[in-house]
Structure 1
C-alpha cells in the first residue's frame, strides 16, 4: 500500500503521469505513422495503375479502345471508390472504368510535381473520400490526362481501427509498467523504510542506536544519526559533570557567607544572611533544573508506568498510613512512558505526595493510554477527597515559582519540579475538580511501546 505523502507514492504518481503522457503521445505518433504509410502505399498503388493505363494507351494508340482496362475488379464495381478516367486536352471524356458510370468525377486541380504527377483528396457523390492521382500522357499529336482514384475512406477506417487497438495495447502496457514502477519504488525504498523503523526504535527506546546495513546512498545518514546520538550522550555526560562541579564550587562560598553573617550582628549581617539564603535557594533551584534538563535529553529510554506507579503507591502508603491509596488495574495494552524512569517517579511521586497530604483519607490513581495531537500519550490521573482548590488557585499554582504545598512541609521544589519536567518532555499537566470532592491532577506524557528498556548509547 502506497501511503499518501511517501516517497514511493510520489515516485509512483510521477512515473504514472509520465507514462500516461508518453504512451498517449506514442499512440498518436504510431497512428500518424501508420496513416502516412497507408496513404503512401495507396499513392504508389494509384501510380502503378496510372502507369498501367499509360502503357495500355501507348500499346493500342487509341484512347477509346474498349480493351483498355485494369485487372483490379474494384474498378468494375459501382460506388466502390476506385475509378479511372482518360480525358483529352480539352477535358472531354474519352474512356473510363465501369465504376464511374453515372458519376460526374472531376479531374485533379492541384499543380503537378517534378514528376508531372498531381494528387489531391476529394469526395465522390456518395460521400466517399478519394485519393486521386493524375498524369499527362502524350500520344502524338495529342496528349491525354489519366486520372485514377482510390478509396481513402477505407484507409481512414483502417487507421481508426489501428488507433483503437494501439491504445488498448498501450493501456495494458502502461498498467503493467505502472505496477512495475510501484514494485520497483517499494523495493528500492525498502532500505529507507528500514532506516525509518530503526530511528523510530531509537525514539521509542527499543534500541540504543540505529542498527542494520544500508545501501551506500543512505549508509552515511545512518552513521551520522549514530554519531549524533553518541555526541548527545557525551554532551549530557559533560553537562552533568559541569553541573556537579558548579554546585560544589558554589556551595562552599555560600556556606562561608552564611556562617560569617550568622556570626555577625547588625543590619548588614541580617541582609547578608537573607540574601545568602535566597542565593542558596536560587542556586539549588536552577541547578536542579539544569540537572533535570540534562537527564531528560537522553534518547532511547522508556519505563513501565504501571510498575512505577505500583511502587510509588506502596511507598506513599507507608509514608501516609492514614490515607487509602487505590490504584486501578491498568489495561493490558497500557503504553510505557517514553523517558527516564526516575523522572516519571519524580513527577508522579510529587503529585501523589501532594494528593496524600491534602486528602481527607482517600486517593485514587488511574493510568490509561490516549491519542493526543503529537501521537499516543500516557495519561496519569491522581485525585483526592480533600478540600480541593478554586479555579484561581489552580491557575496560580501552575505558574512558575509557585508551590502547591507552601504551608505543608515538603521537598522544597514541589510542583515546580513537576512542571519543569513536564515541559522538558513536551507533556501537559492539568488541575481540575475531582469527582471525589478534592483535586484531580491529569498528567499527560509521551508514550512508548511496551518492551524492555534500553540504555542510551555511550560516547
Structure 2
C-alpha cells in the first residue's frame, strides 16, 4: 500500500496524463494522415495541371512535348508518374518515369471531372491517383483522362516518421509534465509538511497548539485539533485535581482509623482486633495509592513524551542505596549516553521505582540496568542476582495482590502498577532468568 500522498497524486496524474495522451495520439495521427493526403492530392492536382498545360491537339491527335515543364516527369528514376488515357480507356501517353512501372489502372470517364483515389496492384504496391477528365485542350474538343500517380509507400514513410516524432514528442511532453506536476505538488504540499512539523512540536511538548497560518482547506482540521488539545489538557487537569482532592479527603479518615487501631492495640484483649484493623487500613491505603497511580499515569493520546533515562536512574539508585544502606548493592549500567524512553516522566519514575525497589530488596549484591534495541523495538532490562521467579509463577505475580515474597509487608500491587503503566504505553513486560542468577524484567517499547 502506498502511504505517501505525493506519490499517490503523482501516480494518479501520470495515469490520467497517459490515458489522455493515448486517447489523443490516434486523433492526432488521423489528423496528420488526412493533412498529408490532402497535401498529396494538391500536389498531384498541380502535376495534372502541368500535363494539361503541356498537352496539344493536332489533327485530332494528342501531342505532348519531348520535355515537360516539370522536369520530374522527364527523369526515368523519378517517382512522379503521369498517364493520359482516351475515352475508351486506351493509354495514349505516359511519362518517362513510368517505363519501369506496370500499373493496372482503368480510368473512369464518367463525367465526374476529377477524382482522388487509392489503388492496389497485384504485387501489393499501392498508389495515390488523381484523375482529371478533360474535354477541351487548347480550345479544341477532346476527351481524355489525365492521371498523376504517386506510390503510397512514400506517404507511409512520411507518416511513420511523423508518428515516431509524435511518440518522442509526447514522451518528452509527458516527462516535462510529470516534472512540473512533481514541482507543483511539492509546492502545494508544503502546507501539509508544515502541519506535520507543528504536530511533531505538539507531540514533543515544544508548542501547545497548531497555528492558524494554513490554507483555508486545512483550517477546519487545525481548529478541531486545537479544540481537542485544549479539551485534553483541561480534562487531564481536572482529573489530577480530583485525584488530589480524593487523596486528601481519604488521608484524614485513614489517619483517624490508624489512631484508633493503635489505641486498641494497647489493650491486651483488643490486640487481635487491632492487628486485623491495622492490616485492613494498610490494605486500604495501598489500594487507594494503586488506584490513584493507575488513573493519574494514563498516557496522553496526543502528546508524545521523551524522557532521558540516566538522570532518573541515578536519582532512584541514590535514594534506594540510602533505604537499603545495610546491604551493599553494586549497580552496573549499560545505557547509551543521552538515551531517552518514550514515556511521561511521572509514569517512568513510578515504573522504575517499583522494579528497582524489587531488585534492591531481593538481590544478593548485584543489579544491572541496560537499554538496547532489539528486533525493531527499544528494550529496557532490569536484572538482579537474587532468587529469581519460577517460570510457573511469572504470570501470577503480575496480577494485583499476588506476591511471592512474604517476608516484607505489602499487598503485592507494585508489579501490577508496573503492568498497568506498560500496557497504557503499548509496551510489553516479560520475565526471564538473568545471567546474574536472578530475575530479568524486560520492557519493550515499540518505535514511534
Equivalent residues of 2:388, 2:433 under 8 A apart: yes
Instruction: Give 1:52 shift.
Output: 4.1
Instruction: Give 1:30 shift.
Output: 3.5
- 3-state SS in 2 of match to 1:81: coil
Q: Which residue matches 2:131?
A: 134
Equivalent residues of 2:54, 2:69 under 8 A apart: no
- 3-state SS in 1 of match to 2:41: helix
Q: Which residue matches 2:353?
A: 349
Equivalent residues of 1:23, 1:170 under 8 A apart: yes
Give distance in 2, aligned partners of 1:30 and 1:92: 41
Instruction: Give 1:415 shift.
Output: 0.9
Q: Report the more deviating stretch, 387-396 or 17-26.
A: 17-26
Q: Which residue matches 1:92?
A: 90
Q: Which residue matches 1:454?
A: none
> Where do residues 18-29 of structure 1 align in structure 2 (5 Å cutoff)?
18-29=16-27
Equivalent residues of 1:257, 1:276 under 8 A apart: no
Which structure has more relative contact order (CA 8 Å, sep 6+)? It is: 1
Q: Does 1:326 align with 2:360?
A: no
Equivalent residues of 1:53, 1:68 under 8 A apart: no
Equivalent residues of 2:85, 2:107 under 8 A apart: no
Give distance in 1, aligned partners of 2:158 and 2:92: 34
Equivalent residues of 1:131, 1:151 under 8 A apart: yes
Equivalent residues of 1:53, 1:69 under 8 A apart: no
Equivalent residues of 2:57, 2:63 under 8 A apart: no
- 3-state SS in 2 of match to 1:48: helix
Instruction: Give 1:311 shift.
Output: 0.9
Distance 1:446 1:316, change over 3 A: farther
Give distance in 2, aligned partners of 1:362 and 1:248: 39
Cα deviation digits, residues 86-113 of structure 1 (max 9, x gap)? 222322222222222354323357897x
Q: Which residue matches 2:180?
A: 180
Instruction: Give 1:145 shift.
Output: 2.3
Give distance in 1, aligned partners of 2:96 and 2:184: 64
Q: Does 1:44 align with 2:42?
A: yes
- 3-state SS in 1 of match to 2:115: strand
Give distance in 1, aligned partners of 2:188 and 2:302: 33
Instruction: Give 1:433 shift.
Output: 0.3
Distance 1:176 1:150, change over 3 A: same
Q: Report the more deviating stretch, 436-445 or 230-239.
A: 436-445
TM-score, length-scaled by structure 1: 0.81
Structure 1, gaps ≥5 residues long = 449-459
Instruction: Give 1:185 shift.
Output: 1.4
Q: Which residue matches 1:217?
A: 217
Equivalent residues of 1:258, 1:276 under 8 A apart: no
RMSD of aligned residue pairs (Cα, Å): 3.8
Q: Does 1:122 align with 2:119?
A: yes
Equivalent residues of 2:388, 2:437 under 8 A apart: yes
Give distance in 1, aligned partners of 2:306 and 2:391: 34
Equivalent residues of 1:236, 1:297 under 8 A apart: no
Equivalent residues of 1:428, 1:444 under 8 A apart: yes
Alignment length, in residue pairs?
435
Equivalent residues of 2:204, 2:306 under 8 A apart: yes
> Where do residues 159-178 of structure 1 align in structure 2 (5 Å cutoff)?
159-178=159-178
> Where do residues 23-422 of structure 1 align in structure 2 (5 Å cutoff)?
23-54=21-52, 56-57=54-55, 62-67=60-65, 70-78=68-76, 80-101=78-99, 103-107=101-105, 116-123=113-120, 128-138=125-135, 143-210=143-210, 213-246=213-246, 284-293=289-298, 299-321=303-325, 322-328=327-333, 330-332=335-337, 334=339, 336-370=340-374, 372=376, 377=378, 379-403=379-403, 405-410=405-410, 413-422=413-422
- 3-state SS in 1 of match to 2:394: helix
Distance 1:326 1:244, change over 3 A: closer
Equivalent residues of 2:286, 2:411 under 8 A apart: no
Distance 1:329 1:252, change over 3 A: closer
Instruction: Give 1:133 shift.
Output: 1.7
Q: Report the more deviating stretch, 218-227 or 319-328.
A: 218-227
Equivalent residues of 2:104, 2:121 under 8 A apart: no
Equivalent residues of 1:88, 1:143 under 8 A apart: yes
Q: Report the more deviating stretch, 144-153 or 181-190.
A: 144-153
Give distance in 2, aligned partners of 1:143 and 1:110: 12
Structure 2, gaps ≥5 residues long = none
Instruction: Give 1:25 shift.
Output: 4.5
- 3-state SS in 2 of match to 1:67: coil
Q: Which residue matches 1:452?
A: none
Instruction: Give 1:258 shift.
Output: 9.8
Q: 1:10 aligns with which of 8, 11, 19?
A: 8
Equivalent residues of 2:354, 2:414 under 8 A apart: yes
